[in-house]
Every structure is written in C-alpha cells, then in structure tokens.
C-alpha cells in the first residue's frame, strides 16, 4: 500500500497549489522592493490575490482536467488522489488544466504534499474509515520530514508578508491619500537684436535683448485621494519663483509670449498656494465620469488633447508646443464641472463642460469690481468657457478629435480670457481689452505608426467680436496650427527626441482692434515657431531636457529679427 501511495503522490506533476504558494514568494519579493510610497491597499491586494489563487482550480473528478486523458500513464494515480483524497487542484485556468508534463520543483511538491496532509487531517478529524491507512500516515510522515525545510520556508514567506503588511499599515501616510510631487529647475536665455514688437510699434521701442538668461523653479505637491478606489480628489500645492512681468520679457528677453516657459503659465512669485483642486468620480457603469473643479481647471483637464508633448515637466519646452492653445484659454481660476462618456468599447469619447474664470479674490462668484461694484456677476456672469469635444480612436495607434469652445471674456469680473491661450501675438492678446465673445474650433490628431515614432498636430481657429463700449465694433479671426514629432526610447529607454513646428495664434483679419495703445494692423504676418529638444531620462525620477526654440516673424511682425532661446530643464519626480 505504501509504495502504491508513494507512486500516486509522485505522479501528481505540477500542482496548482504549489504554483499559488510560490506566488506568495513572488508577492513578498515585490513588496520587498516597494518604497515608502507603496500604498497599504496594494499590499492588501497581494494578500487577497494570494488567498484567491489558493482556492482556484479545485476539482472533484479527474475528468474535469481538459488536458488529462484516460490513456495517460498517470491517469489512475491522479484519479485516486482526486476522488479518494480530494487534495489535487488544477492550474487556475478556465477550464481547469493540469499540465502534467511540466517539471515539478521541490517547492511545488512540498506545497502539494502540504495540501494532501491538510486533507488527510480533515478526514481523520471526521473519522472517515478506510480512506487513510497506517501505512499512508507513516509514509506521509517521512515525506513531511524530508520536505520540512521547504514547508517551513513557505510558511516563513507568508509570515514575512504579514509582518511587512503590519509595518506598512503602521507607517503609512494615509489610508486614502497618496503623495506625489515634481520639482523643475530650468535655465533659459534669449539672444538676438531688438525685442520683438507688434505691428505699429517702432523697432527698438522695448529695447535690445540684453542679459536675458534667467533661472527658475517650480515645485508641485499632489495629494491624490480616493474614497472608493475609483474616484479621485486631486489637490495640488504649487510654488515657483519666476515673475513673468509684461508678456514674456522677464524670462526670454523678447516680448513674444509663445517663448515663455511651458511649465509657468501663471506666475506664483515664490509663494506656495493652491494650484488645482478637482474631484472626479465614475458614473453609468464606469463608462462615464463627472468632473467637479473648485480651482485652477482648464479644458485640457477634462479631455484628451492628443498631443504627444502635453506634459510641462517632460514634454515641450515652449508654452505653444504643449498642445492646441485653445485648451489654454481659461488660464487662471477655472471653476466648473464636466462630464464625459465612452462609447463603442471605448473607441469614442464625448465630453462636455463649463468653466468660469472669476475674480482672484472671490473665485467665480464675483467681488467688488470697477464696473460691477455689487459683485453680482457670479458663476454665469464672469469670463467663461463652455466646451464640447468628440474624440475617436479608430485604431489602437490613431486618435482624432474635434473641439468646440464658446468663450466669453469679461475683464470687469476680475480676469479676462486670453484668446491666444497665453502664447499668441500681442494683437490676439489685445482682444480681451473689453468684454467680448468668441467661437473656437479645434482639430487634433495623434498617430503612432512605429514604436519609436509619433506624429501629432492640431489646427485651431477663433472668431471673436467685441460686445462692450471698450471694444465695440471690433472683430476678427485668429488661427494657430502645428505638427509635432516625437521619437520615444531614442538613445535610452524612456528618453525622447521632440520637434515642434507651427504658427502660434495670430490675427488673419481684424476690425477696430487696439494693441499696445496703437491701432493694430488688420492682420499679423505669420509667426513660425520651431522647437527641438531631447529629454534624457537618467533614472525613473530624474530627466534633463536641453533644447532650442526659434521664432520667425515674432509677434506677427516680419520686421522683427528672428529670436532664438536656449533652454535646459531638469525634472525631478517623486
């Protein structure tokens, strides 16, 4: 009897119980490499998966194994162990498989032996006769002694896993919040002749480009909080030390804002404060999401911009190169809400939303103003963006979208909307001198035909009209467009070469527009921006991006000299 039982047990091959317990060692090894930011929820997930894996694949008849046939030489041994002792489980597949031809490790054998011992103990406790003999027990005792070291090691791994879980639970930052952050250090310098001036302004009126090299930093702390595992409350605290001053002259030595830092679209003046506050939660069987933004929101926070360089810490160096400037029109306080929904197996997304841009002291709800002393303009009376976007993904490597924004700029409510998205010519910026409204349409695409090549681009158009005494009768059209080339993993893994070629927002026609105190020309010359950069990834936490930016006919004035700006950006992520 003992020899027969020994043959049956040794013929079990690869046991899923051994596989699942071996996973405990893998889980422990993964947790060993986790840093202090690893969430306790992930650790609990390892343990949950471990327990689930131990339960998968239990069979009551050898016929349930789709890969075991009655003609197999070990069929009777497997049948006896399954139907007599009930201690054989299959691999966690559907339907169950046994994979008996795969070699068995000593750990797997020890795990299978342990499963049989547990089953036999249950049978003994239940006083089941004729199922376990003394010879069986003696043999099992010898096997247990031989594999005592392996069994002890498996138990030790689980004990270690539980101990580490307890340690992380005691030292965790929060059960619901993860802390992440980013620090950017950058130097930027312009060189050329006179500072660029709009049409109608004499050359040299803003002086020469002299000693235009600047150094700046930005620090972000992000508190990512989830209460259900699917929602997200994001709170961002930011501090930077670069004051942009008039236009971009403070950081580039030129008056063209398209050359400003991509990561400084609003100056903080070296004071830490709230930068972004938003809450997102899923609806409609997780196919839809609702976004509620209490501070700092932009249209780009609600939709996929389809730009390969849409990351101000890792992507484009210039503000223009990040994405279609239409997404940036609401640059400051952005209070509002949005909704999106995925159709057709997530190949089509529809998004709609509304953002107000009220007074800096009173959010979107108005305070005492020059023209509006009662402060009653409120959420729907201040500057605003009402937007809708349809985004499609016809294939896994292609994305297309169309964006529409209805904008209203009301300086009396506290902050006007910049129709150039902060990177347009002075003539486009001048549209917000008085209350105005605009219709904006944008087309975007991103295509990755090769692993190491991404092509993206956009086209944006703005049609505006003045509706206040300050700019009554003014109207015009502004355009912008670009092509973006990205080469991922060029040089080293995670590094990327980047090129942007395009025209920042400029006027194609206008009526009655005033810029810089002088009547602007009816149309700008076409400014062309070219940017080339290379993001070198040193480690998972550090990347350095040197690059150069050139703009031809800056400020939409062909009389201006070409301006070159050199940039080097270091980004630390944690």
**Where in the chain are the domains?**
2-171, 177-573
CATH of 177-573, one of 1.25.40.90, 2.40.160.10, 1.10.3720.10, 1.10.1530.10: 2.40.160.10
Phi, psi of 115, rounded to the nearest 5 degrees: -65, -40
Strand partners, 17: none
Q: Calculate ∠ Cα 75-79-84, nearest 5°.
A: 155
353 and 337 in contact (C-beta within 8 Å)? yes
Give the H/E segment covering residue 256. Answer: none
Do the bridges between strand 348-357 and strand 232-240 make them parallel or antiparallel, or are there none, so unpaired? unpaired
d(CA 273, CA 250): 22
Calculate the CA dihedral of residues 194, 198, 201, 202 and round it to 10 degrees.
30
Strand partners, 454: 486
Cβ density class 327-360: b for 16+ within 10 Å, e for less: bbbbbbbbbbbbebebeeeeeebebbbebbbbbe
Q: What is the pLDDT of residue 379?
A: 75
Q: How many CB atoms lie within 10 A of CB 269?
A: 11
Question: pLDDT in tens for each of the 574 residues of the chain?
Answer: 333 333 333 333 333 333 333 333 333 333 333 333 444 455 445 445 444 444 434 566 777 777 887 877 777 777 877 777 677 656 656 677 777 777 777 777 777 777 777 777 777 777 655 555 677 777 777 877 888 887 788 778 888 888 888 877 777 777 788 899 999 998 888 877 778 888 778 888 877 776 667 788 889 999 999 999 899 999 999 888 765 443 444 455 555 665 666 665 445 567 788 888 999 999 999 999 999 998 888 899 999 999 999 998 999 998 889 999 999 886 567 889 999 999 999 999 999 999 987 554 444 444 444 444 444 466 777 888 999 999 999 999 999 999 999 998 887 766 778 888 888 888 887 777 778 899 999 999 999 999 999 999 999 999 999 887 777 778 889 999 999 999 999 999 999 999 999 999 999 988 877 654 445 567 889 999 999 999 999 999 999 999 999 989 988 889 988 888 888 999 999 9
The full length of the chain comes to 574
| Global confidence as pTM | 0.70
Give the H/E segment covering residue 120. Answer: helix 106-125
Report the sign of the C-alpha dihedral through residues 73, 79, 80, 86, in that order. Answer: positive
Which residues, 6 or more positions from 234, have their beta carbon under 8 angstroms from its beta carbon?
222, 223, 224, 225, 276, 277, 278, 279, 280
Whole-angstrom distance between the N-terminal and C-terminal Cα of the chain? 62
d(CA 276, CA 235): 6
Phi, psi of 409, rounded to the nearest 5 degrees: -110, 120
Q: What is the pLDDT of residue 255?
A: 58
Region of residue 493 (phi > 0: left; psi between -120 and 50: alpha; otherwise: beta): beta
Cis peptide before 95 (omega within 30 of 0): yes
Q: What is the pLDDT of residue 249?
A: 47
d(CA 546, CA 337): 37
């Amino acid at each position: 009897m003992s020899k027969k039982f020994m043959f049956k047990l040794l013929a079990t091959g690869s046991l899923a119980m051994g596989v699942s317990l071996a996973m405990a060692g893998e889980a422990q090894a993964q947790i060993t490499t986790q840093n202090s930011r690893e969430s306790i929820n992930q650790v609990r997930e390892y343990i949950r998966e471990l327990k689930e894996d131990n339960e998968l694949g239990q069979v009551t008849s050898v016929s349930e194994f789709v890969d075991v046939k009655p003609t197999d030489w070990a069929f009777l041994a497997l049948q006896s162990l399954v139907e007599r002792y009930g201690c054989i489980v299959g691999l966690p597949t559907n339907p169950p498989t046994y994979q008996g031809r795969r070699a068995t490790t000593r750990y797997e054998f020890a795990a299978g032996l342990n499963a049989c011992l547990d089953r036999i103990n249950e049978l003994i406790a239940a006083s089941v006769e004729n199922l376990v003999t003394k010879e069986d027990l003696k043999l099992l005792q010898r096997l247990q002694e031989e594999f005592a070291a392996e069994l002890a090691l498996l138990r030790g791994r689980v004990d270690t896993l539980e101990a580490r879980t307890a340690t992380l639970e005691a030292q965790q930052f929060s059960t619901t919040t993860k802390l992440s952050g980013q620090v950017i250090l950058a130097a930027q310098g312009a060189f050329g002749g006179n500072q660029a001036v709009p049409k109608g302004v004499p050359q040299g009126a803003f002086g020469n480009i002299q000693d235009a090299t600047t150094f700046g930093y930005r620090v972000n702390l992000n508190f990512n909080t989830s209460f259900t595992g699917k929602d997200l409350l994001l709170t961002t605290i930011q501090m930077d030390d670069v004051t942009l001053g008039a236009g971009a002259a403070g950081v580039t030595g030129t008056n063209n804002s398209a050359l400003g830092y991509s990561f400084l679209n609003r100056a903080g003046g070296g004071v830490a404060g709230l930068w972004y506050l938003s809450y997102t939660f899923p609806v409609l069987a997780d196919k839809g999401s609702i976004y509620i933004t209490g501070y700092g929101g932009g249209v780009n926070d609600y939709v996929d911009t389809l730009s390969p360089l849409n990351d101000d810490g890792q992507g484009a160096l210039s503000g223009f190169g990040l994405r279609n400037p239409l997404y940036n029109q609401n640059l400051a306080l952005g209070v509002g809400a949005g909704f999106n929904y995925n159709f057709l197996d997530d190949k089509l997304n529809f998004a709609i939303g509304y953002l107000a841009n009220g007074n800096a002291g009173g959010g979107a709800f108005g305070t005492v103003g020059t023209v509006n002393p009662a402060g009653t303009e409120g959420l729907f009376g201040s500057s605003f963006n009402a937007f809708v976007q349809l985004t499609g993904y016809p294939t896994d490597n292609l994305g297309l979208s169309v964006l529409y924004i209805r904008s209203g700029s009301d300086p009396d409510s506290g902050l006007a909307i910049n129709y150039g998205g902060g990177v347009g010519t002075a003539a486009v910026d001048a549209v917000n001198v008085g209350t105005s409204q605009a219709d904006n349409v944008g087309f975007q695409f991103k295509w990755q035909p090769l692993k190491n090549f991404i092509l993206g681009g956009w086209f944006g158009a703005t049609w505006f009209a003045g509706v206040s005494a300050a700019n009554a009768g003014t109207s015009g059209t502004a355009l912008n467009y670009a092509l973006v080339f990205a080469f991922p993993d060029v040089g080293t893994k995670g590094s990327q070469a980047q090129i942007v070629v395009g025209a920042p927002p400029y006027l194609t026609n206008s009526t009655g527009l005033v810029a810089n105190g002088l009547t602007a020309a009816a149309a700008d010359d076409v400014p062309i921006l070219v940017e080339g950069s290379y993001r070198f990834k040193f480690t998972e936490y550090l990347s350095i991006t040197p690059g150069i930016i050139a703009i031809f006919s800056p400020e939409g004035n062909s009389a201006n000299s070409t301006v070159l700006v050199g940039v080097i950006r270091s980004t630390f992520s944690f």
